[in-house]
Structure 1
Amino acid sequence: MTQEKKILVVDDEPKIVDIVSLYLKKDGFLVKTAYNGKEALKVFREWKPSLIILDLMMPEMTGEQTCEAIRKESNVPIIMLTAKSDENERIKGLSIGADDYLVKPFSPRELVVRVRTVLRRFQPNEVMADILTFNDGDLEIDATRHEVKLGGKVIDLTPNEFKLLLVLAKNPNRIFTRTELLEKVQGYNFEGYDRTIDAHIKNLRKKIEIDQKNPKYVRTVYGMGYKFEGV
């Protein structure tokens, strides 16, 4: 899998870029680097990476601004790097479209594992069945192609948003706790950070719900979690 995967590493600290690039290359990935947001956008558009490792704090154009610009064009997986360990900062990074979050200082080996895990979630080896449709075809989820349509129009979802929607849609009316959804979507626990699911749900609703305050598909079950109510 890794031999064909292209990773873009973006950080304004050359030492971090060099170390991360070294570990990724040893693991068989193709790597390109950038040292600011503007340069990262240029490489992203020209090279079409499979995944982006993006520092949050950068001069000229922050990681948040870069992530938001990329999300307007692509659902490519993004792993955020930051020196801030505050939970709200993690939630903020995930809410703008990041798929994972790693706090500095970090283990390069752990980062490589995170990269592999996110890529597996984005392009799973198993073929997931069929096309799910709801409300007379208003919402269509193609599990094999990782494609979602609303009213016939393709909706761009991040890997985590797609996985979250698929888990819920395959189990209509079942109530999932935040912890259950976190385990199913992330593949491992972020202890103490089940609020990350709230951020993903909020983003998902922006994309598939006409009225976010009165959602038709992804409903909140207060004190318990979330469920899918499409018919």
Structure 2
Amino acid sequence: MTRVLVVEDDPQLVRALVINMQARAYEVDTAPDGTTALGLAAERRPDVILLDLGLPDMDGVEVIRDVRRWARFPIIVLSARRGSQEMIVALDAGADDYITKPFSMDELLARLRAAVRRTGSAPHLGEREAVTTADFTVDLVARKAVRGDRDVRLTPTEWHLLEFLISNPGRLITQRQLLEEVWGLTYSNKTNYLRVYMAQLRRKLESDPSHPRYLITEPGMGYRFEP
């Protein structure tokens, strides 16, 4: 059973989320502030976190950064902050999705299901179990990346994006293809998501992120993995 941690200080919204998720057989824990959320995340190990950014004791971005130091489970931001910069900061900190308030419960549940699918997605490379470059190795069975002698921490969304690209070495993957594969049909025009996540992957894997060797941008078209 999928366990969800709801981090939100609005009691009415928390109640609505709990009722709707429990009705669909999710296990739900709740936290009204960031400190409680971090404790529950470490103790309960949820499959997904739904996180408000405007918490009473700390900014939600701090919660994202703290969790990302030790865990990869998906984090979906629920926020009244509508500016693109706020979204980029949250995604850059390690969030997997960003939903602005108010939102429909059907949309939220669809995003939740997509996040769970991304976490459990299987490798696409058939018999190939690993991809090795001069700078890093991606182990598709263990679902981890190694750069030098250190493991690279990737969020589920970062992993899904990387996995799809390396599944098609040398092939141009359009922005639309990547968005629909990783985030779903409703994200086909969210190109800013790709910019943020490709920048994240390059910082984590490329020796010179500003001049990438492996994760190549084809301006106005898409991206490709060059082995």
User: Structure 1 vs Structure 2: percent identity of aligned residues?
Assistant: 35
C-alpha deviations, 1:166-210, integer Å up to 9, x for none?
111111222223222111111223254211100001111111112
User: Does residue 114 of structure 2 align to residue 149 of structure 1?
Assistant: no
| Alignment CA distance shift 1:191-1:158 (3 Å) | same
Gaps of 5+ in 1: none
Aligned to 2:64: 67
Q: Quick check: 220-229 or 71-80, which moved more?
A: 220-229
One-letter amino acid matched to 2:71:
S
One-letter amino acid matched to 2:133:
N
One-letter amino acid matched to 1:83:
A
Q: In the alignment, is the contact (CA less than 8 A) between 2:82 and 2:100 conserved in 1?
A: yes
| Alignment CA distance shift 1:127-1:166 (3 Å) | closer
Aligned to 2:196: 199
- Calculate the TM-score normalised by the size of structure 1: 0.90
For 1:127 and 1:203, the matched residues in 2 are separated by 21
Q: In the alignment, is the contact (CA less than 8 A) between 2:179 and 2:188 conserved in 1?
A: no
Q: Quick check: 149-158 or 195-204, which moved more?
A: 149-158
One-letter amino acid matched to 2:129:
I
How do 1:64-213 and structure 2 match up within 5 A?
64-124=61-121, 126=122, 128=124, 129=126, 130-135=128-133, 138-190=135-187, 192-213=189-210
| Alignment CA distance shift 1:54-1:46 (3 Å) | same
Post-superposition offset of 1:12: 1.2
Q: In the alignment, is the contact (CA less than 8 A) between 2:136 and 2:147 conserved in 1?
A: yes
For 1:117 and 1:71, the matched residues in 2 are separated by 20
Post-superposition offset of 1:79: 0.5
Q: In the alignment, is the contact (CA less than 8 A) between 2:216 and 2:226 conserved in 1?
A: yes
Gaps of 5+ in 2: none
For 2:210 and 2:103, the matched residues in 1 are separated by 38
Post-superposition offset of 1:226: 1.8
Q: In the alignment, is the contact (CA less than 8 A) between 1:131 and 1:140 conserved in 2?
A: no
For 1:191 and 1:18, the matched residues in 2 are separated by 32
- Calculate the TM-score normalised by the size of structure 2: 0.92
C-alpha deviations, 1:22-50, integer Å up to 9, x for none?
11111101111001111100110111111
Q: In the alignment, is the contact (CA less than 8 A) between 2:77 and 2:97 conserved in 1?
A: yes
One-letter amino acid matched to 2:96:
D
Provide the aligned C-alpha RMSD in A: 1.7
For 1:191 and 1:12, the matched residues in 2 are separated by 32
For 2:179 and 2:68, the matched residues in 1 are separated by 22
For 1:25 and 1:220, the matched residues in 2 are separated by 42
Q: In the alignment, is the contact (CA less than 8 A) between 1:53 and 1:79 conserved in 2?
A: yes
- 1:189 alignment partner, SS class: helix
For 1:57 and 1:192, the matched residues in 2 are separated by 27
